Amino acid sequence: MADYGLPALYALFVWWFSTGAIIWLDGLPARTYRRSMLGATAMLGAALWGLAASSADASPLGAYCAFSCGLLAWAWQEMAFLMGFATGPRRAPCPPGCTGWPRFRLAVLTILHHELAIVAGAVAVLALTWGQPNQIGAWTFLLLWGMRQSAKLNVFLGVRNLNEQFLPPHLAYLGSFFARKPMNLLFPLSVTGGTLLCAWFFHRALAGGASDFEAAGFTFLGVLTALAILEHWFLVLPIPAEALWNWSMKSRRPAAPAVVEAEPQHLRVLRPAA
């Protein structure tokens, strides 16, 4: 069971902790963003080096390294977006009454630079790992990209829980492009497609002739897909997703005002007038 249990627990912890860390950093004052992005960029460089180095290593350790580096490469994309460094050429709310194709076009303009950055990141990841036996890192990045695109489209088309509380103040205008509905027609397709992909990953991991590398690598991908499906269900079920990351939301809470004690009456009486 260690061949599957440890990778599953590792994927679960890294997903939970990395998401919370990004939310926490994004909740800090805007003056900290530049330092955070400098650190994230250094992390991205290390992640790309790790993806290239581990791509030829078809061992369980290579799978751990590639999966971790794929997640770190994706984390840079999320931080660049949430901190406002890569969003889009349009930074304004959706005009009242705007629907249909014009609404979709304006929504794309608000995140266009972010999407182009993801494409560039995907090209870099694929170029560094192309033709190598260890594709877990590339799969990880592409999987996160695909499931995030699905979540964005579902929020745009309409879901019950929009999770606006995760948007920082400088991106609050994005909420005007969200739609609140019980569900939309894309949602069942998203969940069904994700479930089939999850089943395929676990089938590869549990296959009788699977190597230790395949068992670990495809377990990573299967658990990550299952977590992405769970995030989709958070959009329509009455479940407070923010409860998972309450600790990370504390960074955006304002500090309690200082309590100034009133001067005792007897001191005011005894104090000489100016």
- In this prediction, residues 102-122 reach a mean pLDDT of 96
| Helix ranges restricted to H, the chain | 2-26, 33-54, 60-82, 100-129, 136-157, 186-206, 212-234, 246-249, 265-270
For residue 107, pLDDT over 50 is answered with yes
First to last CA, the chain: 81
Compute the average pLDDT of residues 61-88: 96
Residue 8: pLDDT over 70: yes
C-alpha dist (Å) from residue 30 to 83, 87, 170: 8, 16, 9
Contact 227, 12 (CB under 8 A): yes
Model pLDDT, residue 4: 86
Report whether 172 contacts 253 (CB < 8 A): no
Residue 257: pLDDT band by 50, 70, 90 thresholds? very low
**Among residues of the chain, what percentage have pLDDT more than 90?**
78
Is the confidence at residue 175, as pLDDT, over 80?
A: yes
The pLDDT value recorded for residue 21 is 92
Q: Is the pTM of this model over 0.85?
A: yes
pLDDT tens readout for residues 121-154: 999 999 999 999 999 999 999 999 999 999 999 9
- Domain extent listing, the chain: 2-247
Among all chains, which residue has been given the structure tokens 């460089």?
45
- pLDDT at res. 254: 57
Q: What is the pLDDT of residues 242-256, one digit of tens each?
A: 777 777 888 776 544
pLDDT the model gives residue 236? 93
